[in-house]
Structure 1
Amino acid sequence: MSVAKPRRIGLYQLGDLLGRGSAGTVYRGLNWRTGEVVAVKQFHIDGFASTSDAEGALKEIDMLKSLRHANIVKYVGYEQSENELSIVLEYCEGGSLQHLLRKFGKLPENLVGVYVAQILSGLIYLHDNAVVHRDIKPANLLTTKEGKVKLADFGVARFHNGNATVVGSPYWIAPEVIQLNGATAASDIWSLGCTIIQLVDGKAPYEDLPPISAIFKIGNDEHPPYPSNISQASIDFLSKCLNRAPDGRSSARELANHQWIRTFPTGT
């Protein structure tokens, strides 16, 4: 049986597949000069709907170059060929929080608090720099083997400009985004609240429903159902994330000082 020849992208030899999504395919990569292990996210150029989409991806890379924070996956570089665009990123060997949920099931509240403190640290940095992630969810939160959490997958992240396009994943999307009022920093906070529910409950709010039904519930319910197995302090925290009115939600900086979160290390 013949063995496929390993692929080489610039300085990086591609190894095993780490993940695949609608936006691209991620491989483990090895820098043949330094020995650094990285994650290489590949996009096929013909997968872009238009030339402007490809140009937009390159502009997005320029944005990622400016992000430097302990709780944000580090941008390493990119390689471009006639057919492919490859973004080289820091490799997080622990996988995503979604991966941890699959492997270990629902997580204890105190561990979720440790993770949330670090997520907030990354969000404070993004929001202070006018960047809205727009797709906060466990699959986009990566971990190291030491338990540090890093925000990843900035495929739909943008500098805040009031864009009213619907973006994000349906079970974590904020009501105002559904209503085409645009995503802001407050929309990231709503998604964080949904992420917390998923981590302690084992599934996202309304995950038992089809996406279109979940979107209807998000657009009409006062807030997603709170888990029954968590402390009053964490419920109070969730209430400050999941207010239907964006201006009624606390900021990432305010949440970092909440009584539930103050005792947890940020990992920075």
Structure 2
Amino acid sequence: MLSTIQAQSLKDPEIAELFSKEDPEKRFTNLRKVGQGGFGAVFFARDVHTNNVVAIKRMPYSGKKAMERWQGIIKEVRLLRTLKHPNIVEYKGCYLREHRAWLVMQYCSGSVSDLLEFHKMPLQEMEIAAIIHGALQGLAYLHSRAMIHRDIKAGNILLTPRGRVKLADFGFASMASSAKSFVGTPHWMSPEIILGRNEEQYDSKVDVWSLGITCIEIAEREPPLFAMNAMRALYLITRNNPPTLQSNEWSSPFRNFVESCLQKNPKDRPTSKKLLKHPFLLRERPTTVVTDLLQRAKEEKKRVLDNLRNRKTKKVLSQEAHQGPAAEAQEES
């Protein structure tokens, strides 16, 4: 069944041209798993042709939902091939191997979500502004092309080693002219997607809402209602007043930016293009703000791993010290 789906699809020249005929296992080496999601696994790898490091998202298209997954892969590849912007992760090709699509992308240091995991100190406001500004530039580009991302969150905002902010993961992306589906990650979803009566169409303002939730996620290390299960959170998003930043230590421009994004009526939300002119994003900040943040997170990660190794070493030595006399007595016996 699966091979028939693929074989029949690839007879169409327009679909066949989306995929490289090269064997990805020969093209890419040093594969090392660095992430896992509902779509599949993400690997660090090296391109033997260019010697460049890349990221590979391997997506299976087998099982009961084989056709749905295969069509989703085709849709995502078609979209990625059309995107070219400094704040959109660079697409490098797609390969097929044993019922898996190898989606090859520009390699980044990690996501903002990864950063928060290792950077234990709260982020400074100018660091949040730099990250959100970069993500918003990518969003404004998408929206100018009548596209909607539909899954904006810290986990889908990547950072390059040189401090460039990149939007990633376009598996839920859609053309604004046909956006009706109930898709996204629950705690970041806008009220109009959740309510979606009779498949009413929504627009790019759903991404603006998700960006506001992402601001709170970065500032407070988790989105609002995160302690609740998804269904309860979805209900409260539509019933409650819009969430706000909890701490009074954040500045008025930051609080106003979040408030602007989180208007329950999408007509009251600014467009991504208009938000780019918001005072919160336009305040002066060092050009190295993101690279400095990455360096601190890298040092913190190294410190945590070193402490973990030291604890393991001490535990092993302690066990050996306690087992020593007993082992010697057993040997003599």
TM-score where L is the length of structure 2:
0.74
Shift of 1:134: 0.2
Shift of 1:53: 3.6
The equivalent residue for 1:103 is 118
Shift of 1:48: 6.6
The equivalent residue for 2:241 is 222
AA aligned to 2:223 is A
The equivalent residue for 2:103 is 87
Residues 1-268 of structure 1 aligned to structure 2 (within 5 Å): 9-47=25-63, 49-93=65-109, 95-105=110-120, 106-180=122-196, 181-228=200-247, 229-263=249-283
Q: State how many pairs are aligned.
A: 260
Instruction: State the SS of the aligned residue for 1:46.
Output: coil
Shift of 1:264: 5.1
RMSD: 1.9
Deviations 1:71-119 (A, max 9, x none): 01000001013411110000002x0000011111331111100111111
| In 1, Cα distance between equivalents of 2:173 and 2:30 | 26
| In 2, Cα distance between equivalents of 1:264 and 1:165 | 39
| In 1, Cα distance between equivalents of 2:81 and 2:64 | 22
AA aligned to 1:17 is K
User: What is the identity percentage for the equivalent residue pairs of Structure 1 and Structure 2?
Assistant: 32
Instruction: State the SS of the aligned residue for 1:92.
Output: coil
The 8 Å contact of residues 14 and 27 in structure 1, kept in 2 or not, is answered as no
Shift of 1:265: 6.8
The 8 Å contact of residues 71 and 149 in structure 1, kept in 2 or not, is answered as yes
| In 2, Cα distance between equivalents of 1:236 and 1:47 | 47
TM-score where L is the length of structure 1:
0.91
The 8 Å contact of residues 121 and 266 in structure 1, kept in 2 or not, is answered as no
Q: Which runs of 5+ in 2 are unaligned?
A: 1-22, 288-333
Q: 1:107 to 1:171 in 2, by over 3 A?
A: same
AA aligned to 1:64 is L
Q: 1 or 2, which has the higher helix percentage?
A: 2
